[in-house]
Structure 1
């Protein structure tokens, strides 16, 4: 097997080259589909096939975004980001702690599980008035809404992951006298690193959903507030612009979690 000067075999170099080409093709297709979507949207609006007053059109949205950038757009984006990340982090931390407690105590897990299933199925928006009374009408209520949506999902995802850890590894560790704390720290938690990040990928979107739902109800700032305000005054360009900004924020936050996963896998290994 021939080796290049860098020590990489020809087969390995060809494999990496194919992967890079495939990534470029995928990215090119993604950009092409997005560009085609906006061009089709603009064209259909210009010829009158779709109502640009209701569905707007890319050129009008661009004009609206330029106007919004001069009228505290960054403030509204910052409010939504702050509420989303705060609710997201609180949900992940508290959910992980609760999942550890339930894994540690089989009795507590058996008692809590049906309640967790019911809470996960319950539409959190139905609790909006109660949340407002508890947390007050403001940022705290919005964060509470995001927390309520992401918390139970984290608990259920992580608990299922902890329970599915290879039982043979756990039995072997117990045979060698490992304590429950050592089993969790050395086997269970590392084995569920991918489960944790899968939960984060789900929760970052759910937290944003919770924040927007909360802003619909009580907020006086944020992208959810702009959407409600735009609908009330029939500025639907503002509504569509805010929706597009939300889509970009959701994509950026998701990619941030993906990047964090790659760094963690590089640090602790894919087998974790």
Structure 2
């Protein structure tokens, strides 16, 4: 507990020092404020947008897209990992395709998704899924394969089926990895959503970033990035809390 408090104190100190230096550098014009702005100006932009109500539709849309992409990506990725573990034939067939698809830049796939699903919510969620599903599948599937072989042999010795092996050995041993994948997918989901909004959105935090660049309002750009950082951190901490509760219940 004492170590955790010390770590948190140092983290907050580093953050405050960074914000303080940034504010000082901006006020004294050590940096180009047109490009880098400074914290008080960014804070004023956020407050102004929040009070006028302009912020909430963009924030709500982005958070909604991220939540859907995050949950669906984790669920579909885990189900796909179970399918390819269950069928060695399917695993050997899909393995090279998953590796190739995972290595492809998702920005390049965005226009294809836009043509297929239209310029809107669905295309952005599919762009997010293109990132989260494959990552989840590879991580969870590798976890299945790394389960102690002796556990599998014991179940097989007592006449257990493949279903018994999965339920009694593979799934329990991989539970920690599946839950940890949630934390990875928080970041992946935000990346996918922002990439999708860069390409197609007319609403959302990604759209505000693009719009800010177009009109040379870099304070708007930075305020959007700050909001993304805060909300993504809150979402990550929520997943950490759920992870602790689930592991504690087990």
TM-score (norm 2): 0.97
* Aligned counterpart, 1:22: 3
Aligned mates of 1:130, 1:146 — CA distance in 2: 13
Verify: 1:39 aligned to 2:20, yes or no: yes
Matched, 1:200 2:182: yes
More helix by proportion, 1 or 2?
Answer: 2
Q: Tell me the SS of whatever aligns to 1:74.
A: helix
Which moves more between the two structures, 252-261 or 113-122? 252-261
The answer (yes or no) to whether the contact 2:180–2:243 under 8 Å persists in 1 is no
Q: Which structure is larger by alpha-carbon Rg, 1 or 2?
A: 1
Asked whether 1:120 is paired with 2:102, we answer yes
Name the CA distance, whole Å, in 2 between partners of 1:55 and 1:197. 38
Q: Are 1:62 and 2:22 an aligned pair?
A: no
- The CA deviation string for residues 44-91 of structure 1, in whole angstroms up to 9 with x for no partner, is 111111111101100100110111102321221111110011011111
1:218 lines up with 2:200 in the alignment: yes
Pairing partner for 1:142 from 121, 124, 131: 124
How far residue 198 of structure 1 moved from its aligned partner, in angstroms, is 2.3
* Whole-angstrom CA distance in 2 between matches of 1:191 and 1:217: 40
Query: Partners of 2:240 and 2:218 in 1: how far apart?
Result: 33
Residue aligning to 1:83: 65
Gaps of 5+ in 2: none
Gaps of 5+ in 1: 1-19
Poorly superposed stretches of 4+, deviation over 6 Å: none
Question: If the length of structure 1 is used for normalisation, what is the TM-score?
Answer: 0.90
**Counterpart contact for 2:114–2:123, Cα < 8 Å:** yes
Post-superposition Cα deviations, 1:21-50, rounded to whole Å, max 9, x if no partner, equal 221111111111111000000111111111
Give the C-alpha shift of residue 152 in structure 1: 0.4
| Larger relative contact order (CA 8 Å, sep ≥ 6) | 2
Q: Distance in 2 between matches of 1:181 and 1:75?
A: 46
Aligned pairs, how many?
A: 249
What residue is the counterpart of 1:246 in the other structure?
228
Alignment match of 2:158 (pick from 153, 167, 176): 176
> Are 2:83 and 1:108 aligned?
no
Q: Name 1:158's counterpart in structure 2.
A: 140
Cα RMSD of the aligned pairs, angstroms, is 0.9
Partner of 1:167: 149
